[in-house]
Amino acid sequence: MHAYRSHTCADLRRDNVGEEVRLAGWVHRIRDHGGVLFVDLRDHYGITQVLCDPDSPVFSQVERLRSEWCVKIDGVVKARSESLVNPKLPTGEIEVYIRDVEVLGAAEELPLIVFGDQEYPEETRLRYRYLDLRREAMQRNMTLRSDVVRGIRQRMWDQSFREYQTPIITASSPEGARDFLVPSRLHPGKFYALPQAPQQFKQLIMVSGFDKYFQIAPCFRDEDPRADRSPTDFYQLDMEMSFVEQQDVFDTIQPVIQGVFEEFGGGKTVDTEWPQISYADAALWYGTDKPDLRNPIKMQVVSDHFRGSGFAIFAKLLEQDGTEIRAIPAPGGGSRKFCDRMNAFAQKEGLPGMGYIFWREQVSPSPEDHIEVEDAAEYLRKKHEFAASKGWLFDEGSQKYFEAAGPLAKNIGPERTEAIRQQLGLGVGDAAFFLGGKPSSFERVAGKARVTIGEELGLTETDRFAFAWIVDFPMYEADEESGEIDFSHNPFSMPQGGIEALDGDPLQVKGYQYDLACNGYELVSGAIRNHRPDIMFKAFELAGYGEDEVRKRFGGMVNAFRFGAPPHGGCAAGIDRIVMLLAEEDNIREVIMFPMNQRAEDLMMGAPSEPAPEQLMELRLRVMPEE
């Protein structure tokens, strides 16, 4: 028999009854039932119940066992009586009578309990991550992560991609975040950088004639932490293809992502139609470039209904250049209580409030009130006249009278209010919320409000994965204070329209850049690359980088493009974020084996740490004291 186990703790079934077996694992929990000790023995694969009664020669040893001790047991498989079968366990029809036990590793008092669903502070969980990872949910998440990576790799190989590795120690590259710098001992005063992404190398692989490349690549960015982003390192599916256009990349990556979500999505619906939405439309309709399409709400511009209206705040606002009023439809939100709650939401987000109109039902008079009629047609006419005198409207679909309510409705009047309702396609029991100003000042809050409205009114479908390609990103953006032009996205993208597009207003130039959004998260980002040096120099010149600086910073790639570079493009998909969605977790640290905390610290390993003086001397570095 094997030195440690003949079976795992998930293997044994009724067919094994009578066999002598050896199991190894951790003591999950111990129960004393009238002197008989029941031990749930756990390993990575599952749990098996083992037991020992007072007549056993090893009873005193089993009595000393404690939670999370690592043990080996020898015993005989017995069938449980019908009344004691545990249908929740694959091994629930059997139990193992202990004949011998050996402690392989005793455990001290535990800082966190592995058994059960107790909540512990994240700092405790990360400091003792090796214990936290023993918990069932964490074992499940990490297994899922491994399976997802395996599924991605297989799907890429099935499409004739090959995996190639790129350097981890390299030169600094502008990818939109801060680099982690690595001092060079052999070249004092100079630094390497950990790659924010294998961007330049994968493009050089295309120049080298390898038609299809992919890699499950580690990436390093010195970023501020967020719930959906690791502050130090992350992994991505990195891919690149030669002789392709934007649609070719979409057609290649969709089967990979879609297949993974279908295989590991737990039975949720996975959309197969992935719409392509321009960046401008995404900002307008959803207030974000990573919209959650499970929520059907689309925002609309309603500025014309407020120009010259009695609502002075919006009317005066629209006299300023670059301002507009947007409406967020809220089907089913037509109550003052809900409207007040959303107004309070806007105030918490730092805005003065959020205007609203809601349409509520009104009960029309009955014949026995004060309407005298000759026949049914006359009765209906009188009812309509009475409703009109009150400013009520009639909805043909529901056959109900209703009126617009709220401060905005009173200020702009029934005609404008009705025009807004018609434009938004709303009716009895619905509401609309309004935000105004320059879009950059309220777009983020509008997007969050849309999400909140969809969730609170039950409009967002929770059992679905909804995807959308966001396309036509602007190549450049202007600093609001200085007006200086800089890249807004990936600087290595090909501008739509080629070099001629760079002759006009930079802020009107769009790039062949694209993101894939799913359920409110960005999963994929990519571009068709700029493979021509002349276009690259001009593109960087508009952002304030001269040709000499481009050659200095990206000399390897610029030089390579002089020797017959093919048109190429690709993308990268965030592994951690994909697994976070599949695992239904809200925090990315729940799907990373050994993550940093929110201050970018590894509490378990004690990183970052102070270097030893001799290390600094060898690198010819000096640490400046904090001011």
User: Span 526-533, mean pLDDT?
Assistant: 96
Distance of alpha carbon 274 from alpha carbon 517, whole angstroms: 10
pLDDT at 11 over 50: yes
Q: Which of 381, 349, 383, 351 shows the shortest CA–CA distance to 366?
A: 383
Instruction: Give a yes or no: residue 155 inside a domain.
Output: yes
298-324: burial string, b at 16+ Cβ within 10 Å, e else: bbbebeebbeebebeebbebbeeeebb
Asked whether residue 299 falls in the same domain as residue 414, the answer is yes
Tokens of 529: 């690359």
User: Span 68-87, mean pLDDT?
Assistant: 96
Asked whether residue 415 falls in the same domain as residue 346, the answer is yes
Distance of alpha carbon 202 from alpha carbon 197, whole angstroms: 9
The CATH number of the domain where 363 resides is what? 3.30.1360.30
Of the residues 57, 80, 105, the one at which a domain ends:
105
* Predicted local confidence at residue 370, as pLDDT: 52
- SS (HEC) of 115-153: CCCCCCCHHHHHHCHHHHCCCHHHHHHHHHHHHHHHHHH
Cα distances (angstroms) measured from residue 614 to each of 241, 617, 622: 46, 5, 11
User: Span 235-261, mean pLDDT?
Assistant: 98
**CB within 8 Å of 146: residues ≥ 6 apart:** none
Distance of alpha carbon 76 from alpha carbon 55, whole angstroms: 15
User: Span 446-457, mean pLDDT?
Assistant: 96
pLDDT at 367 over 60: no
**CB within 8 Å of 443: residues ≥ 6 apart:** 283, 287, 288
pLDDT band at residue 378 under the 50/70/90 scheme: low
Tokens of 125: 């969980």
What is the phi/psi pair of residue 18, to 5°?
95, -15
Alpha helices in 182-245 (DSSP H): 199-207
Tokens of 496: 């739509």
Q: What is the pLDDT of residues 606-618, one digit of tens each?
A: 999 999 999 999 9
- SS (HEC) of 154-166: HHHHHCCCEECCC
User: Span 371-399, mean pLDDT?
Assistant: 66
**Adjacency order of strands within the sheet including 431-437:** 300-301, 324-330, 431-437, 355-362, 400-405, 393-395
pLDDT band at residue 479 under the 50/70/90 scheme: confident
Asked whether residue 308 falls in the same domain as residue 446, the answer is yes
* Predicted local confidence at residue 368, as pLDDT: 47
Distance of alpha carbon 335 from alpha carbon 340, whole angstroms: 9
- 3-state SS assignment for residue 285: helix
Of the residues 436, 460, 484, the one at which a domain ends:
460
Distance of alpha carbon 575 from alpha carbon 251, whole angstroms: 19
Distance of alpha carbon 179 from alpha carbon 170, whole angstroms: 11
Distance of alpha carbon 406 from alpha carbon 430, whole angstroms: 12
In the chain the first and final C-alpha atoms are separated, in Å, by: 65
Instruction: Give a yes or no: residue 473 inside a domain.
Output: yes
User: Span 258-279, mean pLDDT?
Assistant: 97
User: Span 335-350, mean pLDDT?
Assistant: 92
Instruction: Give a yes or no: residue 530 inside a domain.
Output: yes
Instruction: Give a yes or no: residue 333 inside a domain.
Output: yes
Asked whether residue 300 falls in the same domain as residue 442, the answer is yes
User: Helix 136-158 to helix 246-264 angle, to the nearest 10 degrees?
Assistant: 140
| Dihedral angle computed from the Cα positions of residues 66, 68, 69 and 74, in that order, rounded to the nearest 10 degrees | 100
Q: What is the pLDDT of residues 545-578, one digit of tens each?
A: 999 988 888 888 889 999 999 999 999 999 999 9
| Dihedral angle computed from the Cα positions of residues 301, 304, 305 and 306, in that order, rounded to the nearest 10 degrees | 100
The CATH number of the domain where 519 resides is what? 3.30.930.10
Q: What is the pLDDT of residues 409-431, one digit of tens each?
A: 989 988 899 999 999 999 889 99
Asked whether residue 208 falls in the same domain as residue 311, the answer is no
Q: What is the pLDDT of residues 17-47, one digit of tens each?
A: 999 999 999 999 999 988 899 999 999 999 9
Instruction: Give a yes or no: residue 606 inside a domain.
Output: no
> pLDDT exceeding 70 applies to what percent of the chain?
94
pLDDT at 369 over 60: no
CB atoms inside a 10 Å sphere around CB 344? 12
Determine the structural domain holding residue 35 and report its residue range.
14-105
Asked whether residue 474 falls in the same domain as residue 453, the answer is no
Q: 160's torsion region: left (phi>0), alpha (psi -120 to 50) or beta? A: left
Number of domains present in the structure of the chain: 3
Distance of alpha carbon 459 from alpha carbon 243, whole angstroms: 42
Task: Tally the C-alpha atoms within 13 A of residue 534's C-alpha that lie toward its C-beta.
Answer: 3
Q: What is the pLDDT of residues 119-165, one digit of tens each?
A: 999 999 999 999 999 999 999 999 999 999 999 999 999 999 999 99
Q: What is the pLDDT of residues 489-517, one digit of tens each?
A: 888 899 999 999 999 999 999 999 999 99
* Predicted local confidence at residue 401, as pLDDT: 74
Asked whether residue 83 falls in the same domain as residue 192, the answer is no
Instruction: Give a yes or no: residue 73 inside a domain.
Output: yes
Asked whether residue 241 falls in the same domain as residue 311, the answer is no
Instruction: Give a yes or no: residue 618 inside a domain.
Output: no
Of the residues 81, 105, 129, the one at which a domain ends:
105
**CB within 8 Å of 217: residues ≥ 6 apart:** 166, 197, 198, 235, 236, 237, 238, 572
| Of 112-116, 220-224, 523-527, 597-601, highest mean pLDDT | 523-527
Q: Which of 405, 391, 390, 403 shows the shortest CA–CA distance to 336?
A: 405
The CATH number of the domain where 92 resides is what? 2.40.50.140
Asked whether residue 518 falls in the same domain as residue 588, the answer is yes
Q: Are 214 and 163 within 8 A, CB to CB?
A: yes
Task: Tally the C-alpha atoms within 13 A of residue 616's C-alpha that lie toward its C-beta.
Answer: 9
Give me the residues paired with residue 163 across strands.
214
What is the phi/psi pair of residue 292, to 5°?
-100, 100
Give me the residues paired with residue 95 across strands.
78
Q: Which of 572, 573, 571, 501 shows the shortest CA–CA distance to 542?
A: 501
Task: Tally the C-alpha atoms within 13 A of residue 474's C-alpha that lie toward its C-beta.
Answer: 17
* Predicted local confidence at residue 387, as pLDDT: 67
Q: Are 569 and 244 within 8 A, CB to CB?
A: yes
Instruction: Give a yes or no: residue 4 inside a domain.
Output: no
Asked whether residue 442 falls in the same domain as residue 309, the answer is yes
User: Span 176-195, mean pLDDT?
Assistant: 90
Q: Are 198 and 565 within 8 A, CB to CB?
A: no
Asked whether residue 563 falls in the same domain as residue 474, the answer is yes
pLDDT at 292 over 80: yes
Give the helix/strand (H/E) hosting 557: helix 547-560
Asked whether residue 480 falls in the same domain as residue 587, the answer is yes
- 3-state SS assignment for residue 304: helix
Give me the residues paired with residue 361 across strands.
402
* Predicted local confidence at residue 12, as pLDDT: 97
